[in-house]
Amino acid sequence: MAPDVRQIAVGLLQAVPFARTLGFELVEVTPDGADGMRAVVRLPDSPPTHNHVGGPHAGALFTLGETASGAVVLAAFGQLFERAVPLATGAEIRYRRLAMGAVRATARLGRPAAEVLAEFEAGDRPEFPVSVEIGTEDGAPTTEMTVHWTLKPR
């Protein structure tokens, strides 16, 4: 069964006020392949988020990508949050070309969710990547990102 996007959006925006401040919109959260998850988050075109050349500021793009990765983590592992705290442990980003207008970040779980869950249930602290592609609304890629996450036992 697909995750409830509305519930994830409400939870994400409650947990991360900065995402509300920037005006992010959770577009979709869907299963991705046999054991993965995919999330799309949109940043509307808004002058307060622009840089000196009129496109989305690099900081806004980074936050968009990190937020999309968090939506994937929430969708894939939300059932564990009474026992685990999801934490981003690092990130790499590469700005490939100038983005103009509204942009979308598409995030995908980089390891099978069942594998991560099994590590957690075995008493380990799993680490896993979430890959993110950011692009214009017409689909032209502008930015690549990987956010590394862990599930820390409470």
Q: 111-151, pLDDT tens digit by residue?
A: 999 999 999 999 999 999 999 999 999 999 999 999 999 99
Q: Which of 29-38, 94-103, 111-120, 126-135 has the lowest mean pLDDT?
A: 29-38
Residue 83, domain extent: 5-153
Sequence-ordered list of residues with C-beta below 8 angstroms from that of 3, at least 6 positions apart, any chain = 29, 30, 37, 75, 78
What is the pLDDT, as a whole number, of residue 2? 57
CATH number for the domain including 54?
Answer: 3.10.129.10
Q: 45-89, pLDDT tens digit by residue?
A: 999 999 999 999 999 999 999 999 999 999 899 889 899 999 999
Whole-prediction pTM? 0.92
Q: Using CA atoms, how far apart are residues 132 and 37, in angstroms rounded to an integer? A: 12
Number of domains in the chain: 1
